[in-house]
Structure formats: C-alpha cells, structure tokens
Structure 1
Amino acid sequence: MKDFSKELIFKTSRSSGAGGQNVNKVETSVTVLWKVEDSQFFSERQKLLILEKLKNRINAEGFLYLTVSESRTQLMNKNAAVERITDIVNKAIIIPKKRIATKPSKTQKEKRLDTKKKISEKKENRKFRY
C-alpha cells in the first residue's frame, strides 16, 4: 500500500444533512483532489492502470476526486477521505491473475451422472401405479 497523502489537495464546503445550526455555518464536507499524472509515488504503468480503472472518478483536468460528508467534524471527514482515496487507488493498481480454464475430472463427471440417476429414480418411484 502506497501512501501518497502528501500529494492530496483538500477543499471544504458546507455539508448537507444532520448537524443542526452547524450545517449552515461550518464547512465540514471535505473534497479531496489528486492529480494522477503528476504523482511521483507511482510508475507510468501504474498511473495508466489508475487512469483506466478510475476514469469515471477523474475529471477533465486529470484530478481524481472524492467527497466525504459523513461526520459532523471536518477532521474526521478529512481522515475518512484520505483513507478512502488511498484504498481506491491501491485496489486499482492490483492486476488480477488470469484464470486457467480446467476440465472436470472423470470422477466428478461420474459423480454428477450418478446423482442425476438417483434423483431420477426417486422421482420415478413417486409416480402412482395401478
């Protein structure tokens, strides 16, 4: 997990929702911005991965942005925003392993056919005969 929190830019705004009188006068909502292309913590390949996987979160200027307004305090929202954006970016740079296609073994095929036969016999025995 890479910590690129030094490159983050924070903006605050008034949050909507619960907070009573605070909601109208205190800027508790935190928007965190990060310029992906200017990052020194990631390689060019990792930057391309981030740009590709998180393209719906990146605006026209190339900033990855995230807004958090869960808490009533700016500090808690700031911490939550940093945690979330690092988590999102670190998940984006992971390259999943390619799946190797396998065929079912002979015993698995036989077992499947055997259970099908047993179920078929069970249902056949339920039929009413004169």
Structure 2
Amino acid sequence: MLTISRTLALPESELVERFLRADGPGGQHVNRTESAVELRFDVARSPTLPEPLRERLLARRDRRLSDDGVLVIQARRFRDQGRNREDARERLVEVIRAAQVVPKKRVATKPTRASKERRLAGKQQRGKLKQLRTKKPGLE
C-alpha cells in the first residue's frame, strides 16, 4: 500500500514498475545494472481514486501524463535501485497530494475607478512618447 493521505492509499497492484539502465556516473557497473526506475500509474482507470481527484489529475498540464491517462515517473537520481524506487514513489505521492487541493473559484470583480484612471493615464503617456518620436514636417 502506498499511503497518500489519511483517507487515500493506493494498492501495489495499481503501480507498475519497470527497471532500466541509468546513465550517469558509476563506471562499468552502470552498464550491467538496471538501477533506474520507471513507475507507471493509470490515473484514468484507477478504481481507488475519487472522481473529482481523477479529473483534477487528468486536467493538469503535466508532460509525465500520457494521452491515455497514464502517469509515468522516471527516477534515476541515485545509483542504486532501492533509492530510485523510493524517489519515484515519493514523487507520485507529491503529484497526487498536489491534485487533492481544490483550487478556489475566482470571483469576478469590476476594476476600481482609480485603476481605470491609472490605465488611461498610462496609455496617454505612452501615446505622447510615441508622438515625440515622429518626424515633424519642415524640420529636415
């Protein structure tokens, strides 16, 4: 079980781990061991996730989310497989916890009179500046 919060935990059966060779330091040993971890979690078809959370996860613009709703996290920060595995799981927990926060609805407000006047004054000032840049006839 991967615990996300007090009310949500993902069963191991929903997580798919694949081990691959990592690049980076390690000498000849790195060419023989598969220390990098690719963790896959199917957000779209997970029976554990509540529907509002699933919608927020799928709506995020995350490059790690594939077109068919699978979240793919690659961990190759460390030299050994166990630490990379833990790193991938921690990052998955962070992504899901971030999606648990319900964004506040934006309340539409009208601009104040002072802000309208400041905007118009700025426009007039820029217009005057541009007017100064134009060539005046007869001054050539």
TM-score (norm 1): 0.70
Q: Percent identity?
A: 29
- Residues paired across the two proteins, number: 104
Structure 1 position 53, deviation (Å): 1.3
Q: For 1:10-53, what per-residue CA distance to the aligned partner results, in whole angstroms no more than 9, with x for missing partners?
A: 01110000111221100000000011122122112211111001
Structure 1 position 92, deviation (Å): 1.5
> What SS does the aligned partner of 1:57 have?
coil
Query: Which residue is 1:90 aligned to?
Result: 97
Query: Which residue is 1:23 aligned to?
Result: 30
Query: Which residue is 1:78 aligned to?
Result: 85
Distance 2:36 2:43 in 1: 22
- The one-letter amino acid of 2:100's match is I
Determine if contact 1:8/1:33 at 8 Å carries over to the other structure: yes
Distance 2:61 2:9 in 1: 18
Gaps spanning 5+ residues in structure 2: where?
110-140
Instruction: Classify 1:30/1:86 alpha carbon distance in 2 versus 1 (closer, same or farther; 3 Å).
Output: same
Query: Which residue is 1:110 aligned to?
Result: none
Gaps spanning 5+ residues in structure 1: where?
102-130
- The one-letter amino acid of 1:3's match is A
Query: Which residue is 1:120 aligned to?
Result: none
CA RMSD of aligned residues (A): 2.2
> What SS does the aligned partner of 1:12 have?
strand
Q: Which has the higher helix share?
A: 1
